[in-house]
Structure 1
């Protein structure tokens, strides 16, 4: 006789308002709002397990009438085994790849990790306490600029500066008098 579990992942029946589903489930499970919010966290939550087929169908239909979609899973179903590709073995015909100095050689543990076999990982170590971790800055180099096209003018020569406009005549102040 198969045993079933009821699991909920936060999915609701299309066309039903989320607030009404939460209220219906709170009434159905006699739970507070915090527990209902936990159900709608997006994670798969097992609501009930070790049910026979009739009880599992009853739970599914009642919860679906409340507006939520649950998953009924046969607990006795065989679990599908996935065989991973074996990691590449060291072929005696080919020379062993050695990592350059300062690099780690990582052997893949499965087919997924074999995709990252060519990635070079730095061999980081730990510095002693109080060590300066900042690299020394190189000395600043003066830029190399070609100035051969320029020459110096003799002292006192006109360098092409704009000459100031001559000042206009002084204003006529003969009509002004100082009072005693």
Structure 2
């Protein structure tokens, strides 16, 4: 007896309005807007699993009536096993790596494409070693100042002169009373 699971990926049936489908699913699942937003995140979500054929059909009917495109997957379907090809055997034509260069032996067919890549053999530095290059000392820029000279002390450098002070107010008419 086969077992099935109901899978939803956030897609709607053709001709269905997205907001209407969200509202229908919220009513169907009795869920708030945040949980419905998670359903429409685009990820593949298993809504229900381990169902018999009749129950899977009921779920399909209810969800498609709500406007959601679902997938009913047979959980007992055989899974195809893939066997990787063994790495190629070292041949006598293989040229040993030059000193300081890395020779990579491919582990599978995909990595065999990178077997002839010439890569440097970077070693590991001892613990506590400074790996950053030393910074060059900053140099002051060479600026030609020969066209400038200094004015004598006290000379007018073109500053704005302050406005003359206003006359003091006349307070002769003011008296202090006892």
- Shorter-chain TM-score bucket reads 0.5 to 0.7
2: CA distance, partners of 1:27 / 1:107: 59
1: CA distance, partners of 2:123 / 2:84: 33
| RMSD (CA atoms) | 2.3
Equivalent residue of 1:10, what SS? Answer: strand
Aligned to 1:74: 74
Equivalent residue of 1:77, what SS? Answer: coil
2:106 pairs with 1:108: yes
The within-5 A match list for 1:45-56 is 45-56=45-56
2:111 pairs with 1:99: no
2:29 pairs with 1:29: yes
2: CA distance, partners of 1:25 / 1:122: 58
Equivalent residue of 1:97, what SS? Answer: coil
Aligned to 2:116: 118
Query: How many corresponding residue pairs?
Result: 135
Cα displacement (A) at 1:117 = 2.4
Aligned to 2:11: 11
2: CA distance, partners of 1:90 / 1:50: 49
Aligned to 1:84: 84
Runs of 4+ in 1 over 6 A off after TM superposition: none
2: CA distance, partners of 1:28 / 1:107: 57
Aligned to 1:131: 130
2: CA distance, partners of 1:100 / 1:36: 60
Per the normalisation by structure 1, the TM-score is 0.65
2: CA distance, partners of 1:100 / 1:35: 60
Equivalent residue of 1:57, what SS? Answer: helix
Aligned to 1:170: none
Change (3 A) 1:61 1:102: farther
Per the normalisation by structure 2, the TM-score is 0.65
